[in-house]
Structure 1
């Protein structure tokens, strides 16, 4: 199985965490999105028609989009499950995960920030204010959902006794927010989940600084 990834891509980070939790080894291929390698004609034609990272190639099977990849990994390698099978827990985990993946990440990813600066010509201060605004909106909601989960389920992870897709999505988003200098003290449950993951070997293995294509 081949993984196409960029060390600082939060969507790639999600997939790396999932692979590490499941103990699935891959052949790594770095795709530098900072210099536009994801738009290379060969990459788009032969790996990922969406022209983004991450992507998984397993023989003739090609798949992009991190949540789709993780769902596929759950089907192929069901232990440990990251998306619970029980309907109510599944719904809550997906609600939280989609808050990260659909509400926070899309408005703050690299291509949006580059459009703000390169096309709309916003100042660095305006770009940072944009980023902080959407982090505050999203993490406020995440904190409330984690409050509910704690009273409903307990457990050391976002939703119970083991990491789920919720933790897989949350950790890269927190890492990005820290890198962008966001103030996160108002989100104690979010930060507790992040600190717990920082001690888990699979999450450590997936960290950007531990990737073959890492650059400071």
Structure 2
């Protein structure tokens, strides 16, 4: 596989998903950091890589006009070009279920709590911190409740079955975000257990925000 370069930010949940996938597949990559707090992702040079001005973006090193964008699309590309270890089940029904679990987080939960939305709540709508906290708890809680049920149906040691995969790539960063914002996790014991199990794997430790070169000093 050509040399890979991941554009991201240490605490971005979406970039973190891709880091986990790269680590699970054992793929080396270079990194370029864009500090979301300073608006670095909005710079014209980066928008040439990602017209949305968001992270992540993955330069595949294959000479395309623009890198790949959107975390799930990037991970699907990794799955198609580096099949093992697989992040999706072999059977179509299982693959659809895992994609649905991943999208609960990536499409329905995470977008409502990312930095640009929280800035809009505070700045454009005048929400105070209690209102922001209630907003986060509502949408994370809805997503976690659905995932807890899905894991009860289809999970094993991990979100789906007994090997880490795409759903875990999305779940672990969202659990981190919940703890960061003080969202209670007591109603989701299966999700908490999966997060703890993932934390014991080297790939997840390598991808953790604290292990990134651009992370704030602890």
TM bracket (short chain): over 0.9
**Offset of residue 106 of structure 1:** 0.9
> For the Cα contact (< 8 Å) 1:107–1:134, is it kept in 2?
yes
Structure 2 matches for 1:9-158, cutoff 5 A?
Answer: 9-45=12-48, 47-59=49-61, 60-61=63-64, 62-150=67-155, 155-158=156-159
Q: What secondary structure does 1:157 align onto?
A: coil
Mapped to 2, the partners of 1:134 and 1:6 lie a distance apart of 23
Mapped to 1, the partners of 2:60 and 2:115 lie a distance apart of 27
Gaps of 5+ in 2: none
Q: What secondary structure does 1:29 align onto?
A: strand
In the alignment, does 2:175 pair up with 1:174? yes
Mapped to 1, the partners of 2:154 and 2:90 lie a distance apart of 17
Mapped to 2, the partners of 1:51 and 1:85 lie a distance apart of 34
> For the Cα contact (< 8 Å) 1:3–1:27, is it kept in 2?
yes
Supply the RMSD in Å over aligned alpha carbons. 0.9
Mapped to 1, the partners of 2:135 and 2:68 lie a distance apart of 31
Mapped to 2, the partners of 1:81 and 1:121 lie a distance apart of 45
- The one-character-per-residue Cα deviations of 1:105-159 (angstroms, maximum 9, x if unpaired) are 1111111000000111111111111111111111111111111114xxxx31111
Gaps of 5+ in 1: none
- TM-score when normalising by structure 1: 0.95
**Offset of residue 42 of structure 1:** 0.7
Number of residue pairs aligned between Structure 1 and Structure 2 = 211
**Offset of residue 7 of structure 1:** 0.4
Tell me the equivalent position of 2:209. Answer: 208
- TM-score when normalising by structure 2: 0.94
**Offset of residue 83 of structure 1:** 2.1
> For the Cα contact (< 8 Å) 1:10–1:172, is it kept in 2?
yes
Q: What secondary structure does 1:4 align onto?
A: strand
Q: What secondary structure does 2:159 align onto?
A: coil
Tell me the equivalent position of 1:160. Answer: 161
